Each structure stands twice: as C-alpha cells, then as structure tokens.
Structure 1
Amino acid sequence: MSDLSALRHNTEVIADILIIDDHPTLRRGLIQLLELEDDLKVVGEASGGRQGVELAASLDPDLILVDLNMPEMDGFETIAALRDAGVSSRIIVFSVSEDREDVVKALKTGADGYLLKDMEPEQLVENIRSAANGKMAISHKLTEALAMALQQRDSGSDRPAYDSLTKREKQVLKLIAGGLSNKMIARKLDITEGTVKVHVKRLLHKLHMRSRVEAAVWLTEQKGN
C-alpha cells in the first residue's frame, strides 16, 4: 500500500455524497469509483430531480452531484428546487455540456462547481474531494466561463450590509470563504455540524444568495471596498 493509500485508509469520511443522474450505468460506475476512496461515501442515488430533492432533504448529504440533461426535471430546475428547499449541501454539476451559458446558468442558479463527464477518473475524484473540502471544483477548460458567471452576478444592492450580520454569521462566512467544509467549520468553532448547516442556510437566505461560492466572492468584494 502506498503512503497516499495508507493515509486515505486512515482518514475519516469527509463527505457523504448524493448522485442525481438519469443514467443508471453512469451512476453505478461513479459509485464503484468512489467506493475505492475511504474518505468519500455515496449515501444515495436518484434517477431524476424530484427523487433527488426528496433524498437530499432526508439524507442531508455534504455533496450532491447533478446531471443537467434529465427528463421531466432538468439539472437547472433540480438545483433551483434544492436551494428553494433550503438544502445547503455543496452542489456540483456533472455534465457532458461544455457550453458557457450552461456553466454560467448553473452557477447563478446555485451550483458550487461544474465538472465534465469526460474527466479522467483520478482527476474527477480529486475534484470531488476538493469540493467536499470546501474548494471550488470546476474543469480547467471552463475557468473562463466561471469568471463570466461571477462578473454577471447582480450588484446585490438589496443585500444587507456586512455589518448587519451577527458575530457568528461573520465567523461562518469567513470560514466558508476560506474554503472550509461544514465538518471543518464545526471543529473550528467547536459546534456541531448540524448547527453549522443551520447557520449556512440562514446566512445564504439573509444575503439572498444561492451558493457558498457566491457568498465567498461577495465577502472578498466587501473587504475590497
């Protein structure tokens, strides 16, 4: 066993993952791939958006992988429904589409990252792990689209000022911007992970935001003003 494998073997699970994709073969392949990683655990799979939203509400996963092209309820509608339902899990689009408009729309709808299905397995796993640890996960060829998505955000003039946030909300926001996952924030603040999730939900709602990425960028802009 390599040093890296030994390290992963002794590492606790950092993310419970839910997969929402209408292709059973892809779901099964992805599950088998992630089963090789001791720190990533698939806790549920859904063949469509409605089922995915229901599972997300009951399982409360750390990370959700969502396909865009699904019948009845596409990925954009699914992401919106997840955010409208108060799901604060990190949402990563997992799609074949490299269309810039799809990337921009997904991130503005509430996704925290965007990965392409043609990625090499090792690269995919590392991106999922990075996302689980609170980092931005996006395929390299799509970074320009990410910049566009951030530039096209609304001005946020109707959002409350930073000073209106509570001390705890500021602490959580700062740690989110620092790329910490809910588990890591809980340890840092010596509170339960469930409490962190509640704070994140309230914080995003208060700021009228739909993703942690948007909150992190906003905080950076506030510090720059």
Structure 2
Amino acid sequence: MIKIALVDDQALIRDGIARLIELNDHYQILWRAEHGEQALQRLAEQPVDLLLSDIRMPVLDGIQLVEQMRQRGDTTPVLMLTTFDEHQLFLRALQAGVNGFLLKDVSWDKLDKAIATVAAGGFLAEPELLNRQRLPQSESPSASQAIQRDELSAKEQQILRYLAAGFSNKEIAAAIYLAEGTVKNHISNLLDKLQARDRTQAVLKALRWQLI
C-alpha cells in the first residue's frame, strides 16, 4: 500500500485527484493539506510514501515546501503538479529536489504511472512538459549533439538519476558507496559529456535525450 499526501490550496483539485487515486486499491490518501506549511506539520506527524503537491500555493508554495523538506533531511518523493507556463518554476523545482512533474489536466493512466514510478525511486516528467523547457539559444542541443545512453557508464547513469532526484554529492556518495570526491569526478565527466554548465542543465538534457 502506497501512502500518499495531497497538497493543494484548491479544494476541487484536491478532491478530483483524490478520486482518481482512490481508483487504485494499492494507494491510500493518508492526509490532505492546503499549503506547504500545513504539509510540513502533517509530515512530521504522519510520514507518507509520496507527496503530491501543487507549485503555486499561499503561505508556503510547493518549491519552498520541498526545499524545507530536503533541508530537514526528509527524502520523501515529491510529485509536482504544474502547467505549461511555469518554465522558471520548473527549473527551481528541479533544483529543490522534486522527483517528478505532472500537468494539472493529467489523466488517470498518467497519474497511476507517475505515482508508481516516483514512489519506487524513479523520476518522471511528461515529454510535452520537458519540450517546453528552453535552454538559451547558444546552448540548445541539436539532434547531432545528442548522445546515446551507451556513451555513459552504468555509474554515470546511476548518478544522473540521483541528480534528477535532487541528491547532493554527499548523499549520492552515501547511497552508492563511493567517496564524495569520486562522485564529484563523475559529475564533472557528466557535465563535460552532456556539454552542460551545471547540474540542472545536465538533468534537463538527460531527460530530453531519454538518458534516464
């Protein structure tokens, strides 16, 4: 049974998503919150397996919620609800450590897949949402620049997945039993192979090229 929390300031959206989730007997809505501050309080009282949160909310928004969770050492997977026009928020959420992104008009099939993927430790973002994330023109990868998955080592692919989930170098090192310096070297190699200036751009390129 996957225990889920819903965080959204709009009751209609909370109720609609809850009804979709309850179609699967393996999912349980443990609690709901209207904003990030309320969610932080509830998380301390009742941990969940997955947090499904809106980005834009009063008091404490979705990104601030995730930032505070990660600062507290809370690694609960977070699936974020977003819209097409939230490019900068998408990038901020990625940097904060969000584990997946869904559009608000999500179908049941997509929601089901996203919950299962993210709760299991994976990363998921709808292709149409990723396609809206624009790199600067001088850095936009052409088809000929895209690299293939087999050009990355198994360890590099593994580290990319941790980067996509918002893990720090120290956390990655602990998770895969490597020295932190070794992880930093792997990340430097990844940035070079992906021709990315930072971790966020590397993850975006990797997602766009289906490397993770």
User: How many aligned residue pairs are there?
Assistant: 161
**2:111 alignment partner in structure 1:** 124
1:40 aligns with 2:27: yes
Distance 2:122 2:46 in 1: 22
Q: Distance in 1 between matches of 2:95 and 2:29?
A: 26
Q: Is the 8 A contact 1:50 1:73 kept in 2?
A: yes
Matched, 1:78 2:42: no
Displacement of 1:220 after TM fit? Answer: 6.8
Provide, for residues 186-212 of structure 1, a one-character-per-residue CA deviation record: whole Å limited to 9, x for no partner: xxxxxxxxxxxxxxxxx8583499xxx
* Contact in 2 for aligned 1:104/1:145 (Cα 8 Å): no
Q: Select 1:112's aligned residue among 91, 96, 99.
A: 99
TM-score by length of 1: 0.59
Say yes or no: does 1:143 pair with 2:143.
no
Q: Which residue of 1 aligns with 2:18?
A: 31
CA distance in 2 between counterparts of 1:107 and 1:123 reads 20
Question: Contact 1:17 / 1:42 at 8 angstroms: preserved in 2?
Answer: yes
Match of 1:92 in 2: 79
Q: 1:88 to 1:26 in 2, by over 3 A?
A: same
**2: CA distance between counterparts of 1:39 and 1:111?**
23
TM-score (norm 2): 0.63
8 Å CA contact retained: 1:56, 1:87: no
Structure 2 equivalent of residue 22 of structure 1: 9
Q: Is the 8 A contact 1:63 1:89 kept in 2?
A: yes
Alpha-carbon distance, 1:67 to partner: 0.6
What whole-Å deviation, never above 9, does each CA across 1:86-108 have from its counterpart, x for those lacking one? 21100111123443212111010
| Code of the aligned partner of 1:122 | D
Identity level (%)? 24
Matched AA of 1:81: Q
Q: Is the 8 A contact 2:82 2:104 kept in 1?
A: yes
RMSD: 3.6
Aligned counterparts, 1:182-221, within 5 A: 204=168, 206-207=170-171, 221=187
Which whole-Å deviations, capped at 9, do the CAs of 1:10-64 have from their partners, x for residues lacking one?
Answer: xxx2x21111110111111111111110222211110111110111222221111
Structure 1 counterpart of 2:71, one-letter code:
D
- Secondary structure of the 2:130 match is helix
Which one-letter code corresponds to 1:39 in the other structure? H
Report the CA distance shift for 1:43/1:82 in structure 2 as closer, same or farther (over 3 A): same
Distance in 2, matches of 1:79 and 1:219, equals 27
* Distance in structure 2 (CA, Å) of the matches to 1:218 and 1:142: 29
The letter of the residue matching 1:99 is: E
